[in-house]
Amino acid sequence: MAINEIRQQARRSAAERVARLRQQRADLVRQQEELSSAVMTALAERDALVVDSERRAGKALTALLATGLSVLEASRWCDVSTRDAARLVRLASGEPRRQETVGADE
């Protein structure tokens, strides 16, 4: 086998290896993008459900307050803190949600 043939074979083999590695990396990135999208979608759905549930709870609390109970009494009836009860009532009234600081990276 001539040296030129050996070099050509080595180049072909190296090019094939590089192409396989490139495809594997592309497949991995595609998988990571899909999983990331699934996580973000699930969290957005969760957040929407929480907002809806809290608004409904706030409306019910507002109705409970309309029966003559104080926020303290209503919060005891519902087993929530007065602070949380007041927050839920604010949400039901259409006040925008305050952004709570959860972590330094947000």
Please enumerate, as own/partner, the contacts of 45-48 that have beta carbons within 8 Å and a separation of 24 or more.
none
* Beta carbons within 8 Å of 59's beta carbon, 6+ residues apart: 92
pLDDT tens-digit map of 11-38:
999 999 999 999 999 999 999 999 999 9
pLDDT per position as a tens digit, 52-103: 999 999 999 999 999 999 999 999 999 999 999 999 999 999 876 665 544 4
**Residue 97 in domain:** no
| pTM above threshold 0.85 | no
Q: Does residue 25 belong to any structural domain of this protein? A: yes
| 76 located within any domain | yes
Looking at residue 21, what is its pLDDT? 97
Q: Which residue has the tokens 């919060």?
A: 75
DSSP code at position 1: -
Domain span holding position 31: 3-92
Residue 106: inside a domain: no
- Neighbour tally for 84: CB within 10 Å: 14
Please indicate, yes or no, if residue 71 is contained in any of the structural domains: yes
Cβ 46 vs Cβ 57: under 8 Å: no
pLDDT of 88 reads 96
DSSP three-state, residue 92: helix
